[in-house]
Amino acid sequence: MSLLLYRTTWLLASPFILLWSLQQMITRRGGVTYLRERLGLGSTTADHATPIWFHAASVGEVRLASPLIDAQLKDGVLITCNTPEAKRLVLSTWGNAVTVCYCPLDYSPSVRNFIARQDPKVIFVVETEIWPELYVQCHQRGIAIYIVNGRISDKTFRSRLARQWIYPPALGQVTAVWARETQDAERFIALGCAPEKVCTAGSIKMTRRTHTQRPNNPLPHRRFTLAISTHPGEEMIVSEVWREVSGGDLLVIIPRHPPRVSDIVKTLASRGLEVASDRHATANSADVLIVDTVGEVDAYCAHASFVFVGGSMVDAGGHNVFEPASWGKSIIVGPHTRNFAAEVEYLASKDAISIVVTAEQLLESWRAHTHNHAFRLQREHNTQEAHSALPDKVGDYIDLVDEAVQAHV
């Protein structure tokens, strides 16, 4: 697809894009700032130079890029996101140490105004955010483009639209692709990236994570079991399993999208559960606590009895199992883990994760984790051993980013 045709398509789709953006602004609590910045109208201007630009579309990408961002703070960092949850996580993590705003939608004027306002020198795109307008304009302005932990999903690779029209003109502009696996590297080349620009750097997700200190227990007065990154439908499944098994632990749920908290509270309360969304109200009678911020996942993972990782009992592709694994926790996931297939397979090979297919299997696994202390201790030991054996891919990627920054900034 020529760039002119691509731009024309975006213009024709504008009514639908605007309606979708309004829906995101309201349901995900982005406010008017979300709409304005996504349309390239009055994006935040840095108070200081931000030559290093990280684009981390959502919460998962922000977490993935966190150590790389930490290593570059002294040189001035701009972070762009696509979702309000991701932007809130950036603000809670780095505050004024970085400049953060929403990435403009792929309209020519929006992208052009944004780049002119921010004036970056190099962009590190985390995983798979490939936009022709953005890439072409970055290339025209002399902004180096690096794809970090690059991956191409099966669905994208099978898409004729992506293969023939969208990806080739975009990937022709990149400076380098650091692919997570050999298959991903081959797919980037097949989709139009020059072979000499692609290397297999390994998955930054398949890395051991070093914690400098254990966070404070957010619930020192209660033992609790944790379900993180849950999607619609999973809260009901998990709460019913928890109620059947019981054991006295509080059930803590951290949904993938915090704006859903009030709906989850109402749904579970209608099932006869005592549900709280304020952790200070859980000391006595509450059965379930719904946490409305993604920024506290680490603290809850560090102190939970065990952890269920969501997006896996419904077909959402799963989420990062190494977050709880880094704290040595026993982990349960459902069958839908394609986005983290290698990570789940690795933990399974070390007997460090429980993979269930049905609600009945989830119930049995939950029962074993709750009542079989020896089982849980052995699983925790296996998890700790598996995590400590991982390579230090974070260090490798920090070195790659350092080299790129020195070359372009």
Of 241, 258, 262, the C-alpha closest to 306 is 241
Is 80 exceeded by the pLDDT of residue 8? yes
Q: How confident is the prediction for the chain on average, in pLDDT?
A: 92
Region 363-376 average pLDDT = 96
Is 80 exceeded by the pLDDT of residue 256? yes
Which of residues 247 and 145 earns the better pLDDT score? 145
Q: What is the pLDDT of residues 79-110, one digit of tens each?
A: 999 999 999 999 999 999 999 999 999 999 99
| 283 Cβ contact partners less than 8 Å away, ≥ 6 residues apart | 221, 222
Q: What would the CATH number be for the domain defined by 224-388?
A: 3.40.50.2000
The pTM (predicted TM-score) of the whole model is: 0.85
Region 242-262 average pLDDT = 90
Q: State residue 64's pLDDT score.
A: 92
Q: What is the pLDDT of residues 104-130, one digit of tens each?
A: 999 999 999 999 999 999 999 999 899
Binning the chain into helix, strand and coil, the percentages to the nearest 5 are 50, 15, 35
Could you tell me the residue ranges of all domains in the chain? 3-207+393-408, 224-388
Judged on CB neighbours under 10 Å (0-12, 13-18, 19+), 10 is middle
Please check whether the two domains, 3-207+393-408 and 224-388, share a CATH topology: yes
CA-based Rg of the chain, rounded to a whole angstrom? 22
* Half-sphere exposure (Cβ direction) of 252: Cα atoms closer than 13 Å: 31
Q: What would the CATH number be for the domain defined by 3-207+393-408?
A: 3.40.50.11720
Q: State residue 196's pLDDT score.
A: 97
Q: What is the pLDDT of residues 282-325, one digit of tens each?
A: 656 789 999 987 778 999 999 999 999 999 999 999 999 999 99
